[in-house]
Structure 1
Amino acid sequence: MNITDYKSFYDNVGKTNGWDFSRVKCTIEGNDRDFYKEVKQSCGKGDMLLDIGTGGGEAILTIAADSALLLIGIDQSAWMIETAARNAAKSGLPNVRFLQMEAERLIFPANLFNVVSCRHSEFYAEEVARVLTNSGGLFFTQQVSENDKFNLKLAFGRGQSFGIEAGTLKQRYLSELREAGFSDIQSWDISGIEYYHAAEDLSFLLKHTPIIPDFGREEADFKLLQQFIEQNQTEKGIRTNSERFVIQARL
């Protein structure tokens, strides 16, 4: 899936669903980290926080109360931001704003934010460094590793980052952050096992993420999915793996 196809896919997901996967029933073992909880713990009451690739705002809204003076979520998709605005209105939280914006060109003054977060979305290290305060500004990102859902991608013979060496994206981001001026950089890998409770849960995930590009466009995809379920069904659910990495960097 090239960048143009991905943006179109992502925009359509924003229109129909936002980035809300709360309906998907899945048990996760071995990964007990809460990314946004860790972001919240690093915020002071007077801080400004920017969330890049905020989707429908579901995640950032869970930490908005009493975490920072102002939280701003941005996303490239107008539909995602429309969903986020509706979610913000329902929450009644006064310290959250959502804006449509590209991550590669952040339309904010330099040194505005104390904390920047980015979960499962692309970021540009130089832009993050520019908008962060140059006296201890903190950046958090969690990204999907190449070997995530490996057995699923193997079953389909295609998938997000399929065939790319594990660790490639992490090393690229670490290099870009160093070049952008971050000096205190830490990273760690997170592995877990996911058990999807029913076929509907896994099917919803595949239709609303780019894990298997163009899933469902061909009838054969549903036959492959059924075969995968039969081969990976356990008492706990349909088994696959979760692979993530987290980077924390400070200026």
Structure 2
Amino acid sequence: MNELEYRKFYDRVGQLNGWDFSKVQCESEGVKWDFYSEVTRRCRKSDLLLDIGTGGGEALLSIADCAALLVGIDDSPGMIQEALANLEQSKKSNVRILPMNAEKIDFPAAFFNVVSCRHAPFSAQEIARVLEGGGVFLTQQVSEDDKLNLIRAFGRGQKAAQDGTLKNKYSSELSEAGFSDIQSFDFDATEYYKTYEDLVFLLKHTPIIPNFGQGSDDFAKLEAFIQENQTGKGIKTNSKRFMIIARK
């Protein structure tokens, strides 16, 4: 899936559910961190926080008490609409939601103390520009070997490079942008989806298997996958993530 196709997909899903997977029944084993807990650990009450690719804003709103001002940006109209509705319902007065492209962040230089980005593309140069000296950037991204057994079962998927390629690319870009303290972390957790419906929801609302459901044998492949990977805990797959923490 190229960037244009991904953006179209992203807009459509934003209009449907804002990437809110809270109703999906899934248990995980081996998760080493919670990303937004890591973000809050590095925030002071007086800080200004920028969240890139904020989606429906649920995660950002959940940590609203960790900083003086939190700004969530996204370039999807569907996501912004969802996030604004969630903001209004939350009554949080120190959160702002703005339509904005991560390649051109419309804020002054050194404006933010902390920048976060979960599962969204970013520009290392732009982050370096809007982050204060000594400020910290945190990102969590999906590794190439995520949902590997699903991709193998369908013979197509989001894996387009050797595992670690994206992590190395982002680390190099951050170094070139002037970040001097760059650390990376990985986990490969086991996931158990409780029901067939939970797994179908995942596949229909993420780009793991491109155009899932449109192939004539997609559901037959899914049935075979479930039979092979059904356990007492649920339908087994993996969740592979990496996190980079960089200080300017």
Using structure 1 for the length normalisation, give the TM-score: 0.97
For residues 69-125 of structure 1, what are the alpha-carbon distances to aligned partners after superposition, in whole Å with 9 as ceiling and x for unaligned? 100001110110000001111111111111111111111111000000000110110
For residues 125 and 32 of structure 1, what CA distance do their matches in structure 2 show?
A: 25
> In 1, are the aligned partners of 2:113 and 2:132 still within 8 Å (CA)?
yes
The alignment partner of 1:137 has SS state of strand
Counterpart of 1:220 in structure 2 is 217
Describe how 1:39-50 pairs up with structure 2 within 5 A.
39-50=39-50
- Is the contact between residue 45 and residue 67 of structure 2 (CA under 8 Å) also seen in structure 1? yes
Greater shift, 218-227 or 234-243, is seen at 218-227
Q: Distance in 2 between matches of 1:105 and 1:158?
A: 33
Matches of 1:216 and 1:110, distance apart in 2: 45
**Matched residue, 2:117:** 118
Alignment of 1:202-241 (within 5 A): 202-241=199-238
Runs of 4+ with >4 A deviation: none
2:147 is equivalent to residue 170 of structure 1: no
Sequence identity percentage? 61
1:142 counterpart letter in structure 2: Q
Stretches of structure 2 that go unaligned for 5 or more consecutive residues are none
Counterparts of 1:112 and 1:243 in 2: how far apart (Å)? 32
Q: CA deviation at 1:161?
A: 2.0
Q: Distance in 2 between the 1:160 and 1:95 partners?
A: 36
1:244 pairs with 2:245: no
- The TM-score normalised by the length of structure 2 is 0.98
SS of the residue aligned with 1:123?
coil
- The equivalent residue for 1:154 is 152
Say which SS state the counterpart of residue 203 (structure 2) adopts.
helix
Q: Secondary structure at the match of 1:219?
A: coil
Aligned to 1:67: 66
Q: In the TM superposition, what is the alpha-carbon distance from 1:32 to its structure 2 partner? A: 4.0
Equivalent residues of 2:32, 2:187 under 8 A apart: no
Contact 1:19 1:58 in 2 (8 A): no
| 1:5 aligned partner | 5
Any conservation in 2 of the 1:51–1:72 contact (CA below 8 Å)? yes
2:193 is matched with 196
1:39, 1:117 within 8 Å by CA — same for their partners in 2? yes
Task: State the partner residue of 1:25.
Answer: 25
How many Å separate the matches in 1 of 2:100 and 2:225? 38
Cα separation, 2, equivalents of 1:185 and 1:15: 36
Which residues in structure 2 correspond to 1:85-124 (within 5 Å)?
Answer: 85-124=84-123
Equivalence for 2:138: 140
Structure 2 distance, partners of 1:157, 1:218, is 12
Would you tell me which structure has more strand in proportion to its own residues?
Answer: 2
Letter of the structure 2 residue corresponding to residue 84 of structure 1: A
